Every structure is written in C-alpha cells, then in structure tokens.
Amino acid sequence: MDLPIEHLRTLTAIVDEGSLEAAARLLHISPSAVSQRVRAMEERTGAVLLLRTRPVTVTETGATVLRAARQVARVIDDAADELDLGSPHGSVVRLVINADSLATWFVPALARAATETGARFEVLRADETVSTEKLRSGEVMAALTSTAEAVPGCTSERIGVDQYHAVAAPAFFREHFPRGLDAAALARAPMIEFDRHDMFQQRFLASLGHTDVAPPRHFVPSSAEFALAIELGMGWGMLPQMQCSEALATGALVELAPDRPLELPLYWQRWNLRSPVLDAVSAIVADEARRALA
C-alpha cells in the first residue's frame, strides 16, 4: 500500500481540524484538493476512511491509516530533531489521561517531560476505561488506562495502582448512615458520579454485596469539583487516596468503609515505535508514577 506523505498529512489535518474545509485552510490548498487526496487514499486502501459528520470521524480502516499517518509524522519529527532541523517550538505529543490522575500526580510528570524533552503536549481527558479507544482511533500516541491488554500496534506497561476510598462529609454520614451501611440507607443516600461512564461507586456497592441498590445520583464531571461536592455534603463518592488523604486526616471527610478501598491498576499504553521523544516521556511517566502511587 503506497500512501504519499502529503496524503497522510492531509488525513491528520482533517481529523485534527474537524472538517475538510478547515484542513484546506491549514494546508493552504483548496477543499477540492483535500477531497481528491482523501479519494485517492480510499481507492488505494479499498475502503472508506472518513465519515462526513461534524466533526468528521474515522472508520475502522481510517483509524488504522490515521495511526500510521501519525507514526510517520512522529518518525519524521524525530529525524528532524536529530538533524537540528526540527521546530524551535518542539514537536507535539498527544496523550489521553483520566481526570483523577490529571488532578493529582500526572501534571508534574507532564511539566518534567516538557522541560526535559522540549516537546509540547496536547492532553485529552477521558475515563481510564475508555481511553484506549483514543489510541485505537489514532487520535493519541499514548494513554493512561486501566486496560492491561495492549491496543494493536501498542505496548502496555503496568506503572502503578491508584487506591480509591468511599468518602462523605461527616454531617452527611451521620444523617444518612446512623445505623451503618445497610441496603435501605444506601438506597436513600445521594451518590455522586463523575459521568455516566463512572463505575467506581457501583463497584463499591457491589463489594458490600448490594448490586441491586440504586441510589439517587448527582453527576459532577470535574475532578476538583467532584471532591468539593462531596465535602459540601451533596453525596458520597469514591476519591483517589492522593485527593482525599488530607481531608480524611483533618476530619473534613470520613470513610464509609475504611476496610474496603478499591484498587485501580494503571497501565501506560503507547505506540510500539522507537521514538526518542516518546521513549523519554514514557520513562518520565513511569518514574513519576512510582513516586506518586507507591
């Protein structure tokens, strides 16, 4: 399969910019030239690569070609850096990270990586259970995920375990659980979830043997505000240890079941590609994870 580099760059531009017209503006070519390049790639692969949605989305075949396009761009950027011909602003590394890690330990790792590699980062936020879809679609080069099995074309390394605790404000706990965590109390007490992908609270209920309990729910899709909502007594929820240890120590929060924390293994999945920048970023992430999640 012979796909010219300018065609691969065009596919990447379309996905990044969201439309063929926006890609044409970025590449300084006409929209018809963009369409011709896409059509040529589809003829050579024998499959549709893009769905003309708003923004555009890639098909399964398109995701494979997009991943190849980004990997080719990564190799070219690495070669340019070795020849001192790279961008003075550094190359862009796209990552997908879960909100809790961003709110606790990952940003220091990112800052260190920016300093040591000179790279620029575009971070996408996604739940750790679905972040591998971003890798599979070719959107990102690496992902912090709870999925151990490597995405095709990637490697997977376990880098640590994050521990989550079921917590609530003291007044909330006294009001809703005066006789303990029985099924009736758990069914009445409001529960806070990050979004509709968040399964931690349900996992905690299952660990207590209450799989059929359906509490009233709030949804707060921001890590800091999620923790604040719990402290303000909106409901109970699961927080990572790094995010709740100080509040537990001061009494601002209490644990619902101190002997039942949940563990979340974290894996660093990345392209199976030799790249000085991606290798360095991966080593820094693993090092910072060992410090933070020990």
**Domain locations in the chain?**
1-86, 163-260
Going residue by residue through the chain (294 aa), what tens digit of pLDDT does each one get? 678 889 999 999 999 899 999 999 999 999 999 999 999 999 989 999 999 888 898 998 998 899 888 888 888 877 776 766 656 556 789 999 999 999 999 999 999 999 999 999 999 988 876 788 888 887 899 999 999 999 988 999 999 999 999 999 999 999 999 999 999 999 999 999 999 888 899 999 999 999 899 999 999 999 999 999 999 999 999 999 999 999 999 999 999 999 999 999 999 999 888 888 999 999 999 999 999 986
Overall CATH class of domain 163-260? alpha beta
d(CA 135, CA 141) in angstroms, rounded, equals 7
Q: Beta partners for 270?
A: 142, 155
Question: Counting Cβ atoms within 10 Å, is residue 129 exposed (0-12), middle (13-18) or buried (19+)?
Answer: middle
1-86 and 163-260 agree in CATH topology: no
207 sits in the region (left: phi over 0; alpha: psi -120 to 50; else beta) called alpha
Name residues whose C-beta falls within 8 Å of residue 22's C-beta, 6 or more positions apart in sequence.
Answer: 14
**For residue 163, how many C-alpha atoms fall within 13 Å in the half-sphere facing its CB?**
12
Determine the CATH number of domain 1-86: 1.10.10.10
